[in-house]
Amino acid sequence: MRPRIPLRVALESDELFRPLLGGDSWRAWRVILVAAMGEPLDDEEFALFKQLTGRETAPTAMVETLLAIVGRRGGKNRAAAVLAAYIAALCDHSGSVAPGERPMVLCLAMNVKQAAIAFSYIAAIFDTVPALQGEVKGRTSDTLALTNGVSIEVRPASFRGVRGVTCLAVLADETCFWQLDESSDNADTAILAAVRPSLATTGGPLIMLSSPYAKKGETYDVYRRNYGPQGDPLTLVCQGASRDFNPTLPQSVVDRALEADPEAAAAEYLGQWRNDISAFVDRKVVEAAVCADRFELPRVADRRYFAFVDPAGGSGADSMTLAIAHKEEERIILDLVREVRPNFSPEAVVAEFVDVLKAYGLRTLTGDRWGGLFVQEAFTKKGVHYHVSDRVKSAIYSDFLAILNGSRVELLDHRRMVLQLCGLERIVSRGGRDSIDHARGQHDDVANAVAGAVVMANAARSTPFQPFLRFSWT
């Protein structure tokens, strides 16, 4: 990629981007974008660059990855749109694209609505910037086709939707909020892993922009490894409050938000990672406990099994799940995981689960209070006694974590279980109360059942046989 004009010149031109990113209020963004392209900074600009990045030296070539952690209303969308337009229309890509390839600048957002916002910013640039008004030869709801053969496309973030394309740059919006999607295994790591090869032949940059959230996921990992002077020279990470990048935002807005919810506002407006939300468990710990290619274990006659169920109604978003585990000396073995996703008949699933329980010699199981007497009666009619939970979910997850960290459990090779366990969040309230649960918009149905069965099995004595010990949660 060879710029036809330097980005700095484009940012200072009234015919190009000065009307969009001109003036003192956009100074921070101009410094970061110019530095990311490997263009030199003057002394005053470098002082601001150092403040925002913690770096002692500025890049001397275009970076491979730019991560900007910036508070809300900090101008991320407009800055990203300008960079997309510059790379697409004002750089020469003839030496990095094979004949017949149609290269693109790809803009990814976490959902269709967010993608539409990003596209409107980019389209407005080509509609209003005088020097670019003749560069568009075709337009759809999510694509601009330029006269130079480059297209700018906006898509929802999906690892399947970014494969097989050639990208000149990828702009990834709000990557801290690309949550796990268990139904498609569409994790942020999978999306970004699929994106990076699309840039391999062009050498274009991956631009990640987000306000911060919990200290987990691919975005936080890039930040942790590369913010400050020890970071990879080809990966530039900047961090700042909303007013660092947009001083026109009224301080009163920030002050009111901080008064209402200090932890949330520190992330939303001060650009700080949330300390009250963290990952429940490191993915490496979970994967170390998984026995590869072990999907289910048959019953062994002299073993004592424990079952936990997470019931559901069948018509909502939740699955109904069952897990069975047993203890061998000091190790806990997960034997079975069953999940039935909606829509389903609860009565039919109860009958299916009862058959499984009886195959393992079980006439009892434990579950939560969901559904009141309906669930209990449904299992009782089938000859299985349903123990209602008397422990909260967070307490069981805490006990389960101790078993995981102690390397005392063997888990099945069950991808949704791994995703859900890794997606759990530990949240500390203002009063200091600790709770563990799935993130907003996610599920923990499989994790719920697995943790319950494992913790019950762990509490049992290995020998001799003891009466059933009740462990459950609400």
* Coil/strand/helix, residue 421: helix
Please give the residue range of the domain that contains residue 49. 2-275
Average pLDDT, the chain: 88
Distance of alpha carbon 306 from the chain centroid? 33
**What DSSP letter does each residue of 19-50 carry, written as one string?**
HHH-SGGGHHHHHHHHHHTT----HHHHHHHH
pLDDT of 57 > 90? The answer is yes
Average pLDDT over residues 345-374: 90
Asked if 387 and 325 sit in the same domain, the reply is: yes
> Which of the listed residues 275, 294, 309 is the one where a domain comes to its end?
275
Distance separating alpha carbons of residues 318 and 422, to the nearest angstrom: 18
pLDDT classification of 448: cutoffs 50, 70, 90: very high
Residue 470 lies in a domain: no
Asked if 238 and 208 sit in the same domain, the reply is: yes
Asked if 185 and 291 sit in the same domain, the reply is: no
pLDDT classification of 179: cutoffs 50, 70, 90: low
Asked if 82 and 54 sit in the same domain, the reply is: yes
Beta strands in 287-374 (DSSP E): 305-310, 320-328, 331-340, 364-367
Give 193 or 357, the one with higher predicted confidence: 357
pLDDT of 98 > 80? The answer is no
Residue 409 lies in a domain: yes
pLDDT given at position 400 = 96
> Angle between the 27-36 and 76-89 helix axes, to the nearest 10 degrees?
40
Asked if 304 and 370 sit in the same domain, the reply is: yes
pLDDT given at position 156 = 79
Q: Which residue has the tokens 């799940």?
A: 321
pLDDT given at position 462 = 54
Give the helix/strand (H/E) hosting 207.
strand 206-210
* DSSP 8-class letter at 46: H
Distance separating alpha carbons of residues 72 and 211, to the nearest angstrom: 6
Amino acid identity of 93?
H
CB 84 within 8 A of CB 122: yes
Residue 466 lies in a domain: no
pLDDT classification of 119: cutoffs 50, 70, 90: confident
- In 3D space, the residue among 383, 418, 399, 381 whose CA is nearest the CA of residue 471 turns out to be 399
Amino acid identity of 12?
E
> Angle between the 346-359 and 373-381 helix axes, to the nearest 10 degrees?
50
pLDDT classification of 161: cutoffs 50, 70, 90: low
pLDDT of 474 > 50? The answer is no
Asked if 86 and 157 sit in the same domain, the reply is: yes
Query: Per mean pLDDT, which range of 44-48, 99-103, 260-264, 271-275 is the poorest?
Result: 99-103
pLDDT of 157 > 90? The answer is no
Distance of alpha carbon 97 from the chain centroid? 31
> Which of the listed residues 253, 275, 297 is the one where a domain comes to its end?
275
Q: Parallel, antiparallel, or unpaired: how do β-strands 65-70 and 206-210 relate?
A: parallel
Asked if 61 and 147 sit in the same domain, the reply is: yes
Asked if 175 and 308 sit in the same domain, the reply is: no
pLDDT given at position 438 = 85
pLDDT given at position 392 = 81
* DSSP 8-class letter at 38: T
Residue 376 lies in a domain: yes
Asked if 252 and 356 sit in the same domain, the reply is: no
Asked if 216 and 151 sit in the same domain, the reply is: yes
Which CATH number does the domain housing residue 39 bear? 3.40.50.300
Residue 474 lies in a domain: no
Q: How many domains are there within the chain?
A: 2
pLDDT classification of 466: cutoffs 50, 70, 90: very low
pLDDT of 252 > 80? The answer is yes
- Contacts from 110-115 at CB under 8 Å and sequence distance 24+? 110/156, 110/157, 110/173, 110/174, 110/177, 110/178, 111/156, 112/156, 114/156, 114/173, 114/174, 115/142, 115/154, 115/155, 115/156, 115/173
Distance separating alpha carbons of residues 366 and 208, to the nearest angstrom: 45
Residue 472 lies in a domain: no
CB 270 within 8 A of CB 309: no
Which CATH number does the domain housing residue 399 bear? 3.30.420.240
Residue 110 lies in a domain: yes
Distance of alpha carbon 164 from the chain centroid? 22
pLDDT given at position 432 = 57
CA angle 183, 188, 190 (to 5 degrees): 75
Asked if 117 and 36 sit in the same domain, the reply is: yes
Residue 192 lies in a domain: yes
- In 3D space, the residue among 208, 92, 103 whose CA is nearest the CA of residue 145 turns out to be 103
Q: Is 148 exposed, middle or buried (0-12, 13-18, 19+ CB in 10 A)?
A: middle
Asked if 137 and 264 sit in the same domain, the reply is: yes
> Which of the listed residues 233, 257, 275 is the one where a domain comes to its end?
275
Distance separating alpha carbons of residues 264 and 49, to the nearest angstrom: 26
Q: Which residue has the tokens 């002299």?
A: 302
